[in-house]
Structures are given as C-alpha cells and as structure tokens.
Amino acid sequence: MAAPHHFTRFAAIDWSGAKGTRHPGIAVALCEAGEEAPRLITPPSRAWSRRDVLEWVLEQANDPLLIGFDFSFSAPFVGRGAHLPGETQSDDARALWAHIDAAAAGDEDLGAAGFIDARRGTHFYLGAADGVKADFLHWRACEVAHDGSTKPSTVFDAIGAAQVAKASFAGMRLLHRLNGAVPVWPFDPLPVRGACVVEIYTAIAARAAGARKGRSKLRDAASLDTALGALGSARHAPLERYTDHATDALLTVAWLRRAVDTAGLWQPAAMSPEIARSEGWTFGIA
C-alpha cells in the first residue's frame, strides 16, 4: 500500500473519557501541509464535548484532512477470539462499536464510564476487589508490535492516571456514529479524496521529536518549540495555558504531517487482514 498523497491538512485530537458533558481534557490541533506551526481549534463552548468533536469531524468529511485520535479503536480480539468474551461474538470491530454504543446509551455525551463500571471484574479491572490484575491484561497486536520505546496500556485496565479504558470505549461510540461518512483506517480502505480518521499514540510523536522514554510531556513554550522544530515545524503562537492536552495535540499533529508520507506506516508488516478488521492498528507502529 502506497502512502496517500491527497492530504493537505492534518488534525490531532487529544481525547477524554471523563464523565460529564464538557471536557477540558479534549484538545483539537490543526496544521496545513508545509512547515507552518500547528494551532489549537477553539471549542464551540467553554470546553469541547465529545458530541462537538463528532460534529466537527463530520463537517470535515469532504476536506483533504487526516484526523488522528488518541484512543484505542478496538479491544483485543486475536489472542482470545472475542473482544469481550462471553458478551460479544463478531470478529468485526464495527460490531463491537455498535454493541458499545447501544449498551452505553445511559452514559451522557457518548461516554462509557457506566458501561465499564457495569462490567468491572468481568472484563475490566478497577481495583483489588475485581481479582488478580494480571488476569485482565490483554493487548492488541499493534500494542505488542512496537519497538519498546513506548508502553501502551490495555483497554481493560480502568484504574489509575494512565488508564485508557474510558477514553477508548467512549471513542468507539464516536467511531460508530461516523457511520461511514468519514473512513476509519484500517477498517476502511484509504480514501483517494476527503477526510480519513486514524488512531494515534502521542508518545510515538514525543519520541520522534527526541523526548526521552517516560519524559514525553511538554509543559512550557520553549520545550514545545524545541520538539516542534525537531519535526520540521515553525514555532507555535503562545498559548494561554500549557496543558498536557494542548501540547500533546500540537506536537502530535506536527508529527502526523511529517509521518503521512512514510509508506511503511500504512502497511505494517504484522497487520494481517484479520487484525485490520478486528483490532485495527495504531498509525505510527510499523
């Protein structure tokens, strides 16, 4: 598979699975092809809702925009032959998205916290009362195919600051709501025109910019500009606040712009058709 050549705009979205309807943890960064500095998109209200982000993505459907979301697009399937053993049967991640969206209907703003709480001890680990934590640690193929420079979390570990469960299962509800209007790679073929959504992992961008393992967060203007420069980007316009969410989005969109032309990232050696259909893949892991 050759690298796509029609994308001229790039977006990176630092995502949130938090409860509620307005989420300071969501940041949307945008940049154009070339070296121009990325910028943050102002939310339509005091902070983004997940539904706001869904509407924004749908509005970009016909634009040559590559959109990266920082959450896991599926649960592991290959290792156990089911996404949620005893609950789901299909090997198609789209069926998982539909199942989650229906089962999490009571969670506001496309959230999934209630969905996860109802399955603690069965699929998700939220504390010692749920049993032995090691029994819940299952990973997707792409999460064990990296070079060891990053440490992806499993979507079944729903405890602690580094957990990605709530964000990922909320994100799968958004992917279901896209309903084919915007292709999602690698579940859909790469489009020759219009927008496309891919899964990203901000630590990959930080490592590409020279950050040391475990030191991927940027919390001041100088550090952000140094990292952007390493990715061929101009200096950014000063921010009102330097949050992890804002700097992650800005740095990752600059990396996405540079990485898009790397053919090997679009055809990972370990990504079989079965894996592409059932688990998906993180763009950036070759």
Q: Given a cut of 90, is residue 238 above it in pLDDT?
A: yes
Q: Given a cut of 70, is residue 236 above it in pLDDT?
A: yes
Each residue of 31-52: pLDDT tens digit? Answer: 999 999 999 999 999 999 999 9
Q: What is the pLDDT of residue 4?
A: 86
What DSSP designation does 152 have? P
Of 59, 54, 64, 51, which Cα lies nearest the Cα of 21? 51
CA distances from 245 to 125, 141, 174, 195, 239 (A): 25, 26, 19, 23, 12
Percent of the chain with pLDDT over 70: 95
d(CA 57, CA 83) in angstroms, rounded, equals 26
Q: Is the dihedral of CA 231, 235, 237, 239 positive or negative?
A: positive
Of 68, 4, 33, which Cα lies nearest the Cα of 282? 68
Rounded average pLDDT over 240-255: 95
Copy the structure tokens of residue 109: 């703003």
Q: What is the pLDDT of residue 201?
A: 93
Specify whether the CB–CB gap between 61 and 195 falls below 8 A.
yes
Each residue of 4-32: pLDDT tens digit? Answer: 889 999 999 999 999 999 999 999 999 99
Q: Given a cut of 70, is residue 175 above it in pLDDT?
A: yes
Least confident of 58-67, 159-168, 209-218, 226-235: 209-218
Q: What is the pTM of this model?
A: 0.95
d(CA 195, CA 207) in angstroms, rounded, equals 26
In what helix (H) or strand (E) does residue 98 lie, and over which residues does it extend? helix 93-103
Q: What is the pLDDT of residue 213?
A: 64
d(CA 94, CA 128) in angstroms, rounded, equals 32
Copy the structure tokens of residue 16: 């949130």
Of 135, 126, 129, 101, which Cα lies nearest the Cα of 115? 101
Of 5, 95, 107, which Cα lies nearest the Cα of 51? 107
At residue 91, the 3 state secondary structure works out as coil
Q: Given a cut of 60, is residue 150 above it in pLDDT?
A: no
d(CA 95, CA 26) in angstroms, rounded, equals 26
Copy the structure tokens of residue 143: 């999460």
Specify whether the CB–CB gap between 181 and 58 falls below 8 A.
yes
How much is the mean pLDDT over the chain?
93
Rounded average pLDDT over 231-235: 96
